[in-house]
Structure 1
Amino acid sequence: MSQSFIFDMDGTLFQTDKILELSLNDTFDYLRSLNEWNTVTPIDTYREIMGVPLPKVWEALLPNHSNEIREKTDAYFLQRLVENIKSGKGALYPDVKEVFSYLKENNCSIYIASNGLTEYLKAIVTYYNLDTWVIETFSIQHIETLDKSDLVKSIKKKYSIKNGAVIGDRLSDINAAKENDLVAIGCNFDFARDDELSQADLVIDDLLELKELLPKIGE
């Protein structure tokens, strides 16, 4: 029986941490140049909410700013992220390509479902040639509700997925799996939280563990 694997991007496949602080500092320097910010960059606050859609990020980081400023900030942040990816300052997690190759060799289908925006995801997929293994990459940007569960539901429907798993590091990934009758695999990586991982069906500390879990997921 063929299986489908839907991977989160940030904190699961891509080590967002490597460009996060850099891009966020660039962005808040931009806000300072506009006299819209006069204190330290709120990196710790962003880490706490990592994984939510960007519009909600700016509501949290810029609660007293207008929507216009938030939109300008969002656009600038995206620009800095993409430029940092294209200049090679980011990195995939170890063994991503090895695991993808293994899954493909075992007739598994691979998709990406992310809260990241389309342009950002395209930069990562293109730079690391992930299209070699990934059938399609989906952004939350195309789901009106901005809900990860709805995004996974749309993938299931488009590709008639019956069996498989959602692999991610945050509760939104775990909920997306469970609400769509898929196995929830939690990644105990950089942004993961113990209280969220406890709700996953399986937890891994390294993507290579997916090789050993493949038979179990198919049961």
Structure 2
Amino acid sequence: MGARALPEAMIFDVDGTLFRTETLLLPAYYTTFDRLRSEGLFRGETPPEHYIISGLGMLLEEIWEQVLPDYGRDVRRRADELLLKLQLDGLKLGEGELYEGVEETLRSLRERGVRLFTASNGLEAYVKGVIQHQGLEPLFEPEGLYSAGEYRTRSKVDLVRLLVEKHGLKNVWMVGDRSSDVEAGKENGLFVVGCDYAGFRKPHELEGADVRIASFAELLELVDESRETSTA
């Protein structure tokens, strides 16, 4: 386990970490394929939902290669456009849920002086839409919502490196539920907290994390333990 110093900042993945993605994603996913069929771009049954769920945490291009391996770029691009629009429409209507304790825990972390950021492989409009429509935006740092879609990074390692360097951060925790989060944290020398509650990660996905949590609220216990260690 890495050294657990009191964090100056935390960087959060969004889907499967803060946001219960499937509550928004799956209705939009099925509607997307209804639209693709009606537009004559897709035939047959909607691909099983595990293809889109298992792709969470990947870059969007990789997700659509997995969901639509037999279709070209134009169809994948149209599917991407439809899915994003449907999810943003859903957010505006109040659809989608945070994991239990997320808002309260983030608020408590801010009160403890921890600076909060996101780093997601999703599109800018989606990442910012989730944070804004869930009422979390005031808790995060100004210009602290980072996404691969906005910064055109090819990996979360690069995105997190950019974030850390741009904000001059020294002691940072990376918090996420996928192997890409563990890799991004470790490659940038961060303490990594693996979130073990989303339910759709792959076996051994969190190997390499410094610690795992079974609920989001456990972050406060880790921070308070670190505070005690730092002041001992």
Which category describes the TM-score, using the shorter chain as reference length? over 0.9
Contact 1:99 1:210 in 2 (8 A): yes
Once the two structures are superposed, residues 34-89 of structure 1 have per-residue CA deviations (whole angstroms, 9 ceiling, x without a partner) of 23121233311122222111111111111121211111111111001111111112
The 5-angstrom pairing of residues 23-102 of structure 1 reads 23-35=28-40, 36-102=42-108
Confirm or deny that 1:211 pairs with 2:216. Answer: no
Structure 2: gaps spanning 5 or more residues: 1-5
What displacement does 1:134 show?
0.5
Alignment match, 2:173: 165
Distance in 1, matches of 2:59 and 2:18, equals: 17
Distance in 2, matches of 1:183 and 1:217, equals: 12
Percent of aligned pairs sharing the same letter: 34
Distance in 1, matches of 2:84 and 2:169, equals: 31
What displacement does 1:146 show?
2.2
Alignment match, 1:196: 205
Structure 1: gaps spanning 5 or more residues: none
Compute the TM-score of the two structures, normalised by the length of structure 2: 0.89
Alignment match, 2:185: 177
Residues matched between the structures, number = 219
- The root-mean-square deviation of aligned C-alpha atoms, in Å, is 1.6
Q: Which amino acid aligns with 2:93?
A: S
Flag the 1:217–1:42 CA change in 2: closer, same or farther, 3 A: farther
What displacement does 1:215 show?
4.3
Distance in 2, matches of 1:49 and 1:2, equals: 30
Residue 158 of structure 2: which of 150, 153, 158 is its match?
Answer: 150
What displacement does 1:199 show?
2.0
Compute the TM-score of the two structures, normalised by the length of structure 1: 0.94
Q: Which amino acid aligns with 2:192?
A: A
